[in-house]
Structure 1
Amino acid sequence: MTLQDRPRQGAGADGPAVALGGVDITFHLADGGRYQAVRDIDLAVKPGEFVSIVGPTGCGKSTLLNAAAGLLSPSQGTVSIFGKPLVGLNRRAGYLFQQDALMPWKTALDNVKVALEPMGVPEREADAQAREWLARVGLRSFVDRYPHMLSGGQRKRVSLAQMLIRNPEIILMDEPFGPLDAQTRQIMGNLLLDLWSRDRKALMFVTHDLEEAIALSDRVVVMSAGPAAGIVADYAVSLPRPRDIADIRLEKAFHEIHRDIWSSLRVEVQKAYAMGEGKELVEGQQSVGGEAR
């Protein structure tokens, strides 16, 4: 029986996959001061739901992912995973960061296999599973390549396989495609949708790209400008699945959803700029089909 075949503990537990209830997160500064990153956050992600979080730079999007991962403890409020309070690290989640953490002295195969070492998976089984996952992400012929021999998109695929091989029940992704060029981002987005659609894990996805958020997600959550950022809007994305990233952006319904979400997001981006905090506009605010957004 492979790791993917094993029953997941608590998979049928009641409650959202991730629930943040009244969450405040305040950081203590070196000069003795305090910085309140987010305030009074209520957010629930259901099992099988793809939720993207957008907002101005510095609004605490990554902070929410870190709270869901158990890397940060709320100053106030609660974090629950499948109906149970989160204590310590969230071992039911996999986390993919913007920058890959591949070990340069290991091949692609060994970088993926290393994720199974803490689980005590036998060497032969780990090798077979790692090869299977590299094939799933389109790297069947690159198992013996070292990270410096791979393109940015290929390294991201190895990182994705490294995270998914553990079969997490929750997937957390923090601007995972940010460093990639536009064409590679589309390819990676379609790959992610294909992998996600096979078993529909709960997925929290942070991005600065509003178009990317809409094309991928079931819901898009908009955060306000920081400090003390909160959730100002929560939009359902009613576009049909399966989706192709390039094709879905040509649909009239896509433009309508984009217009609605940008009307909320634009206000917060402008606030961030006015405070001297925002340095990045949402990439998707530029024109689509000649329409200013």
Structure 2
Amino acid sequence: MTLLLIEQILNGLQYGMMLFLMAAGLTLVFGVMGLINLAHGSLYMLGAFVCAAVAGFTGSFWLGLVASLIASAAAGAVIEVAVIRRLYARDHLDQVLATFALILVFSEGCRWVFGSSPLFLTVPAVLSGAVTFPGGLQYPLFRLVIIFVGLAVAGGLFWLIGGTRLGVRIRAGEADRGMIAALGVDISRLYTIVFALGAALAGIAGALVGTLQSVQVGMGEPVLILAFVVIVIGGIGSIKGALIGALLVGMTDTMGRFLLPMGFAQIMDPAAARGVGSALASILIYLLMAVVLVVRPQGLFGART
């Protein structure tokens, strides 16, 4: 029982880190640019498709991973210049409608380029297999790699935001975009960089998760909803908030799906307990979000306005 609990904790960490990779880019775009980007999940899907296609063609997962990073960042930059740049002065409804249209464009585009059948990614041989922990617990190496990648990206973003000139401009743009524009900063270029960075993070997340599930059209929308839950819990514009919020959501969902069926099995039929427990577990993250909004409406680490 102890080993099973530890395994579920690791699953929660892995799920949380995957959500962080999605939510980090989304909270950057939302916090700095004030943009509701529903197409963020489509960039996640694009990264997964490009990685699967390139890996299938070349036989190298690593080339696929690099290609997914480049393709998603380039797509993000093109979208920002061609579409998003025209939406900054518009209200949020216009942003929602325009980025929802991009979801449809990306979905049909991926279906046309990559086909309607799901694609599959194979974990590279060097990362296959399992790691044995003290006590005999064996855990897939690739899932541990996702956890470490998430931690590395979090550390890189903290350094970027807090220790570089670009980070100073990003933080200043979040606080007062008019002032930094008046000081001579090219705000359009800054926005393009931020959007491309957010898109690249989404693409990496899609490429990594594509090894754990099938790569198919529409795979980005469910994750996008959870990413929005994460940034609402953590606080819009906060990388620290995105990290903590993602871990909370990942652990809440995973442990809920593990513990609730076991609890209900004590008072009802095991099959029914699994159904009821799984249904309630899917609600827990939204209850968590509701509690956070009641106690702290700006999120755990959001700036008070």
**Structures share fold, TM-score greater than 0.5:** no
TM-score, structure 1 normalization:
0.25
- Give 1 or 2: higher strand fraction: 1
Which has the bigger relative contact order, CA under 8 A and spacing at least 6?
2
Relative to its length, the structure with more helix (as a share) is 2
